[in-house]
Homo-oligomer: A and B are copies of this chain.
Amino acid sequence: MTLTADPGLAKHALTTMWTIRRFEEAVDDMFARGLMHGTMHLSIGQEAVPTGACMALSEGDYITSTHRGHGHCIAKGAKLDAMMAELLAKETGYCRGRGGSMHIADVATGNLGANGIVAGGVPIAAGAGLAVRMRGGSQVVVSFFGDGAVNEGAWHEGVNLAAIWDLPVVFVCENNRYGMSMSVDRAFNVDTLAERARGYGIPGVTVDGNDPQAVHDVVTDAVQRARSGGGPSFVEALTYRWKGHSKSDKNLYRTREEIESWRERDPIAAFESAVTGAAAATAPSVPPALSESDVEECRILARDRVREAIRTASAAPDADAATLTDAVYAPAGAPIAGGTRG
């Protein structure tokens, strides 16, 4: 599907990216103002990856997410107010305030969870793929993780299981060039992380992670392959986080120039150029998908949604300490949120 040519898709992609951006800017601001606690990992600058990837998925498909998971959650269709409520430690949050940013997930939309453990979601994704396959289902699992995760044993073991069992999993690596502070150049002895894929006998491809269309194209191929029984794939999306790793980051390990050069490659601005025909590369014969006012509409929609979410969430009751020990164990006969039985 051509996100840049179809007005509906273009609007969806643009609105999603703006929503992620505005949501995280709001969070950043609230955190700075002391309205939020804990820590935050923002994906500002990386919005094209979850947007392009999740648009390749259908209802019922699963994702596993990361510590930097707001974008995945939003792109997979979560409600902003329940997300914001979670960050504000409200009883109405997705996790009733128990999880916070690193565990936010809308299980109803197939999000099996953000994860505070680097690479923790990778074998979980393989397991969800195994469940699908054993039930004879046609769902696909997209597992998001960062470049740093690729050196974890969990990643290795999870990818191998998916590979040998031909599981319907797409491994999407958000290569933003750094673990916390260690660059991929120092943490890997290979030029592209996609080279790792070969060792498991699965396709590996590197793509511009700041271009939702490019991400969408390769993930769509990989999803089709997975859905039709062709097994897993590895997609490396090259992108960059504008903000520090988390709140304690002083950016000592990278230069201002480097950050600036990536800000100039803003995935949202580039996509706006592409869809409005402002980008030089656009063939003049193809009519632009969106007008300037369409674009403005998307921006406003995103901004308003986020504002509304903050309003709703702020008014909600705080997480209740009286029920703290409630959800440690599921009661007998508890429904399995992630799927159907038998």
Interface residues of A (CB under 8 A from B): 151-157, 160, 163-164, 186-190, 195-202
Contact = CB atoms under 8 A, between A and B. Distances in A.
Given A153-B157, A160-B187, 14 more contacts: A151-B156, A151-B157, A152-B153, A152-B157, A153-B154, A156-B157, A160-B188, A164-B187, A189-B200, A189-B201, A190-B198, A190-B199, A195-B201, A199-B199
Q: A152, A160, A163, A195: which has the most chain B beta carbons within 10 Å?
A: A160
Contact of A156 (B156, B187, B188, B198): B156
21 contacts: A151-B157, A151-B160, A153-B153, A153-B156, A153-B157, A155-B156, A156-B156, A156-B157, A160-B187, A160-B189, A164-B187, A164-B188, A189-B200, A189-B201, A189-B202, A190-B198, A195-B198, A195-B201, A198-B198, A198-B199, A199-B199
Contacts of A199: 190, 195-199
Of residues A156, A157, A198, A202, which shows the largest number of chain B Cβ atoms within 10 Å of its Cβ? A156
Main secondary structure of the interface of A (DSSP, over half): helix
Q: Copies of this chain, how many?
A: 2
A189 B200 CA distance: 6
Chain B CB within 10 Å — which of A186, A187, A196, A199 has the most?
Answer: A199
Nearest to A161: B151
Contacts of A188: 160, 164, 201
Nearest to A153: B153
Given A151-B160, A153-B154, A154-B153, A190 B200 contact: yes
Contacts of A157: 151-153, 156
Contact of A163 (B154, B155, B189): B189
B186 A164 contact: yes
